[in-house]
Each structure stands twice: as structure tokens, then as C-alpha cells.
Amino acid sequence: MNKNTVIYPGSFDPFTNGHLNIINRSSKVFEKVIVSVAHNVSKKTVFTIDERVEIIKEIFKDRPNIEVDSFQGLLVEYAKKVKTNTILRGMRSVSDFEYEFQMALANKSIDDSVETIFMVTDSEFTYISSSLIKEIVTLGGSPKHLVPDIVEKKLIEKLQRKQEEN
């Protein structure tokens, strides 16, 4: 197992400045951060898995210690595949903790070698959520201060096209 590598999994639909904050900070703690886009069948997404991977790769194209990947199935199995046992989860608020704590315990019950580390986002990002961003854009607002530039551009294109089709 590579103890200098951490997996930061998520749906990242869309990728936010809060995600960016966690990745930037964790890259100072770990030699390698694997940002892994999860196939989450329970969420209705704006972007496909491939689009999300492409967008995140573009954001980190000049950061060799940040790898972008995707996975489906159990996170603990994916961790074995990429030869690490450390999972990073970002938290914005106390309400995130309950869900993340439950997931960490579930992962630990499947594979007790897997460790989950929680990182609290900087306070300026605590209110940002993917669903909030999608709602702002759908209602004609700008997500400029909530997401990286490439995400803003792709999100507006995608959601405006969807609205024109309806």
C-alpha cells in the first residue's frame, strides 16, 4: 500500500471551488491525490462521467501530483486497485459528518485496512453545494464565484441547452 497517496472520491457534478479547496490543501499533505469520479446511479447528473473526468483533468493539467480517474463499485475495492488504503472526504458542515461517518464505518466493515480522513473545507466554501450551483445556473444566475472558470463555461452551455430542449 502506498501511504503517500489518498483517494478523494465524489460525484463532482459539478466540480466546485469547495472541491478545489480540499484538493489543493490535501496535495500539501499527500504526495499524490487521486480525484476519482464515482459512478453514482442514485444521482441524476448534468455531466457524464467522461465529461467530469475531462473537466477535472483540465483544471489540474499542470499538477503532476494530482491524478484524475473514475470508478464504479465499492470504493474499498477501488482503493486496492490503486494500491492505497487512505480515503479523503471533505466536509462543509455538521450535517455532512453524519453521512460521511456512516460511509467511513461501512468501508471499514468491508475492509478494516482502509482509513478515512476528514478535511473540513475553508469557511468561505461551507455553503457551496453542487445542487445549489445547478439551481443558480438553471434560474439564469452566474456560478462564477462558486466554480472554476472551465466548470462555469461547461455548466452554462449544458444547462442552457437542456432548457432550450424543454
For this structure, is 39 an active site residue?
A: no
Active-site entry in 43, 63, 153, 162 = 43
Bridge partners of 5? 32
Q: Each residue of 59-77: b (16+ CB within 10 Å) or e? A: bbeeeeebbbbbbeeebbe
CB within 8 Å of 66: residues ≥ 6 apart: 23, 27, 32, 33, 35, 60
Q: How big is the chain, counted in residues?
A: 166
Residue from 62, 7, 60 nearest 38 by CA: 7
Active-site entry in 26, 36, 130, 154 = 130
Active-site entry in 36, 52, 89, 92 = 92
For this structure, is 28 an active site residue?
A: no
For this structure, is 153 an active site residue?
A: no
Residue given cell 464515482 in the structure block: 38
For this structure, is 92 an active site residue?
A: yes
List the catalytic residues.
Answer: 19, 43, 92, 130
